[in-house]
Structure 1
Amino acid sequence: MELDRRLLLAHCAAHALSVIFGLLAVIPLALNGSAFKGRCALFSQGFWRTENLTFSGGGTGEVSHLVVRQWGPPAACQFPTFVGVFTVLYGAVQGWRSLFYLHRRHDDTLFSSFLSLLLSLCVLFLSGGASVTLSLGLHSWCSTITEHNTRTYSCAESQLIPLYLDVETSSFYSEFNCAQISLWCVTALWLTQSILSFLRLYHSHSQQISGPCLPREKELLLSQTLAECAIPHPHAHLHPSHTPSVFI
């Protein structure tokens, strides 16, 4: 298997995985946005409040509930969702191009390889920024819920505890955690694709440089061979009987 064919197969596999992990990031974020009624829990600020409530049976008791002072900026949730959607679409297009080149048995030109490398680096920075944003935002939300880890339960367990908010919080950690892991996998895949794009660029550059030189070298060698065959040897046509005799 030639080098460019191996690179194309690796690119197809990386693009297919990026589409899968992109969907695994977009779907949980979309479900979380629907459960939170369009509000963003990332980087939200709040505190726990304990109030005395009177129950219907006449008894009283203390109930703690979470008070959200300020919801997180919508861009904190929209940016990872946008990166996930863009990864799915761009990965599908690039994967189809790689399959097309693999079927046609030819690779990108030098300019196309350079452009693919630049786009891969841009998507790498976007996915890395989205992964960091989602991780930091989830850590901030978990710190708010657990009161900086002073509660007896973890952030994963807090989704099973009633927070007494007007949003559905029964699966927020599972959704954010799935999206977070998927986006970090997407970042690793785009790092791999950037390396593969650089190798394809190097291969295209090598082919472009060595391509015109090889026919010239063949022509020069062929011309030299023909020239050597065309020049007769100085004693090739002398018969032994025609050898001049020397008289003393």
Structure 2
Amino acid sequence: MLRLRSSLPPLRSRSSSRTRRARRGRDSNNKKMALDNLIFGQCVLYFLAFVFGFIAVVPLSENAEDFGGKCLLFTRGMWQNENITVSKQRFIVEEWGTESSCSFITFVGISSLVLSAVQAWRLLFFLCKGHDDSIFNAFLNLLISSVVVFTVFLSSTIVSVGFNMWCDSVTEGGTMPSSCEDLQDTDLELGLDNSAFYDQFAIAQFGLWAAWLTWLGISVMAFLKVYHNYRQEDLLDSLIHEKDLLLSRSSRRNSDLKTGPI
């Protein structure tokens, strides 16, 4: 007479498997919540980058219009008397700054503004739909944000150094009784509107440096996203390996049951 064996697993085994499934479910929910928080943080930073880019681009465009396309950055000049008998001085521009400097920082500001707006909208869509980037897209975002960090830092440095050179020229290295900010209220008789140049570049500097800090934070979060996806792939590989081991053990157990003693 054949000895019958139950095909059902023991009660302890079933309870432990349910515990493992519950633990995996909790871990999956925690990781999804952490991923949603990461995406939300990226979305907020992209929105801030858009705002700071807008703050930088507007005064740069206004200054280009006021100066008739001439670039104030790295401009050199000096004060001279109009004639021997009259002590009135006039600021003479020796060399205007290259237009490529102002064009470059304006282009970087507009590019940062547009890219941040697109990324913020895309991540907001992902957050609402529950989607996520692939590993390739996450790495591509990290690469793009790193390039933007470098270019925004370069443009911010150009604005700060170039504007300081202009202020040194217009104040003769700080020997003038008026500061660079005060001289924007003085007609320099350059055939252009210089009534707001200090405020315009002060706001532009703030916008660019704030945008650089924001993009630096975006790059850090993009790196964390790539690292999270990499760890997630490792977890999936380990789960697949564990599943294969369980299936092989189950098949061996079934084969042992079939060849049991008679």
Bin of the TM-score, shorter chain as denominator length:
0.7 to 0.9
Deviation at 1:221, TM superposition (A): 3.9
In structure 2, what is the equivalent of residue 29 of structure 1? 60
Q: Distance in 1 between matches of 2:145 and 2:83?
A: 57
Q: How many residues align?
A: 228
Q: Which secondary structure state, in structure 2, belongs to the residue aligned with residue 132 of structure 1?
A: helix
Q: Is 2:93 the partner of 1:93? A: no
- Residues 137-159 of structure 1 show CA distances to partners (whole Å, capped at 9, x for unaligned) of 10000001000111112111111
Equivalent position of 2:12 in the other structure? none
Per-residue CA deviations over 1:17-72 (Å, capped at 9, x if unaligned) read: 1111101111000000000011001101111011249xxxxxx7421110001110
Task: Give, as a single letter, the amino acid of the residue that structure 1 aligns with 2:181.
Answer: A
Greater helix content: 2
**Equivalent residue for 1:195, pick from 220, 224, 227:** 220
Question: Counterpart of 1:20?
Answer: 51
Q: Does 1:81 align with 2:81?
A: no
| One-letter amino acid of the structure 2 residue matched with residue 179 of structure 1 | A
Which ranges of structure 2 fall in alignment gaps of 5 or more residues?
1-29, 258-262
* Inter-partner Cα distance in structure 2 for 1:47 and 1:20: 37
What corresponds to 1:5 in structure 2?
36
Letter in 2 for 1:110: I
Which residue of structure 1 lines up, in the alignment, with residue 205 of structure 2? 180
Given residue 143 of structure 1, which amino acid in structure 2 is its aligned partner?
Answer: D
For the residue of structure 2 that corresponds to 1:62, the secondary structure is coil
The whole-number CA distance in structure 1 between the counterparts of 2:173 and 2:59 is 25
For residue 135 of structure 1, what is the aligned residue in structure 2? Answer: 160
AA matched with 2:51 = I
Once the 2 structures are TM-superposed, how far is the Cα of residue 216 of structure 1 from its aligned partner? 3.8
Structure with max Cα Rg: 1
Could you tell me which runs of 5 or more consecutive residues in structure 1 were left unpaired when the two chains were aligned. Answer: 54-59, 233-248
Percent identical residues: 37
The residue identity in structure 2 corresponding to 1:199 is L
SS at structure 1 position matched to 2:124 = helix
**RMSD between aligned residues:** 2.2
- Tell me how far apart the structure 2 counterparts of residues 92 and 211 of structure 1 sit (CA, whole Å): 33
Choose the corresponding residue for 1:120, options 125, 129, 145.
145
| 1:46 aligned partner | 77
- The superposition leaves residues 57-107 of structure 1 with CA deviations (integer Å, 9 ceiling, x where unpaired) of xxx742111000111000111111000000011111111111121112121
**Shift in Å at residue 218 of structure 1?**
4.1
The residue aligned with 2:188 is: 163
